[in-house]
């Protein structure tokens, strides 16, 4: 959480500092005070520059957050593991014959990978689009 906060603060600082000094001076010349300059001139411009790295940071936080990993990755992988165990367990047929279990581990873990991809890829594409569009 502290790491994410520091990253957001650094991205915001970089976006604000990327606004040319002339914009600060022009807002001051129009009579804006420090708060008015930032609220009505600097921050609206900085938000356009902040959005792409912020979305990328959001993707990174989603992928690296302990809570997301514990609740998301571990839960998905555990569900996949239980499915593999259930499908690979041998069973006895109706006439008492031994039926070996089928192994579908590749398909199950492939599906888990697809779920992670479906979560991360659209956000990554959104960040790339915003970077092209807004900067």
**Pair of tokens at residue 19:** 């606004």
Position with higher pLDDT, 17 vs 90: 17
Give the per-residue pLDDT at 35: 95
Per the CB < 8 A criterion, the answer to whether 90 and 101 are in contact is yes
Give the per-residue pLDDT at 57: 86
Q: With CA atoms as reference, report the closest residue to 72 among 107, 112, 106.
A: 112
Q: What is the pLDDT of residues 39-92, one digit of tens each?
A: 999 999 999 899 888 888 887 777 776 555 555 666 666 766 676 666 555 566
Q: What is the pLDDT of residues 88-125, one digit of tens each?
A: 555 666 676 655 555 566 777 777 778 878 888 888 88
- Residue position matching structure tokens 């009505």: 40
Give the per-residue pLDDT at 23: 94
Q: How many Å apart are CA 41 and CA 19, to the nearest integer?
A: 10
Q: Please state, as a whole number, how many other Cβ atoms lie within 10 Å of the Cβ of residue 82.
A: 11
Q: How many Å apart are CA 87 and CA 108, to the nearest integer?
A: 10
Per the CB < 8 A criterion, the answer to whether 123 and 62 are in contact is yes
Q: How many Å apart are CA 77 and CA 69, to the nearest integer?
A: 10
Give the per-residue pLDDT at 73: 61
Position with higher pLDDT, 123 vs 33: 33
């Amino acid at each position: 959480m502290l790491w994410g906060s520091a990253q957001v603060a650094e991205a915001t600082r970089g976006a604000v500092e990327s606004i040319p000094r002339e914009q600060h001076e022009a807002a001051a010349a129009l009579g804006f005070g420090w708060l008015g300059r930032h609220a009505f001139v600097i921050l609206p411009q900085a938000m356009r520059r902040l959005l792409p790295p912020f979305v990328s940071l959001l993707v990174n936080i989603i992928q690296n957050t302990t809570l997301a990993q514990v609740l998301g990755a571990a839960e998905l992988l555990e569900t996949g593991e239980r499915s593999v165990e259930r499908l690979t367990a041998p069973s006895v047929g109706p006439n008492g014959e031994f039926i070996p279990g089928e192994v579908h581990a590749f398909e199950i873990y492939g599906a888990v990978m697809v779920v992670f991809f479906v979560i991360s890829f659209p956000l990554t594409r959104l960040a790339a689009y915003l970077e092209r569009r807004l900067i």
